[in-house]
Amino acid sequence: METFSPTLRYQQLDGRVLSRPQLTRDVQTQLERMHDGTSESTREALELAAGGEGATELVRQSARYEVRAFFVLHRSWRLSRLARYHWARSGGRWQITSVQVLEEHMAAERTWLAFR
């Protein structure tokens, strides 16, 4: 989570704004439940601020993740997200200062029983 500034503002699609500690807790909870997953991101646009001290990128992310419950019940989801990331350079280091989720689609992929 070092990529995110301590003053991060993460705006979800519904308008709710998370701080860095809130986002960290949410991601940690999701990762603790995740059994398997894949993710890829594509930068669709990049704008550099005058002076080179900031940048804004538009990123499309697609992911698939799987959770397991009771050792036998598995469920997988697909996620697609488009977000605007604002970066700032401070002390020679780039960090994300804000994120605005513009689109987000999540769909259950499948549910199955397995013993592994």
DSSP letter string, 82-102? EEEEEEEEETTEEEEEEEEEE
Contacts of 1 (CB under 8 A, 6+ apart): 20, 23, 24, 27
Q: What is the pLDDT of residues 42-91, one digit of tens each?
A: 999 999 998 888 999 999 999 999 988 887 888 999 999 999 999 999 88
Tell me: pLDDT of 15 over 80: yes
Residue at 8: amino acid letter: L
Select the more confidently predicted residue: 72 or 7: 7
Q: How would you classify the pairing of strands 93-113 and 73-90?
A: antiparallel
Q: Which domains does the chain possess? A: 4-113 (3.10.450.50)
Phi then psi for residue 2, to 5 deg, are: -65, -20
Please state the pTM of the whole predicted model.
Answer: 0.86
Task: Tell me whether strands 17-18 and 4-11 are parallel, antiparallel or unpaired.
Answer: antiparallel
Which has the higher per-residue pLDDT, 10 or 53?
10
Place 116 in a pLDDT band, splitting at 50, 70 and 90: low
AA identity, residue 35 = H
pLDDT at 43: 98
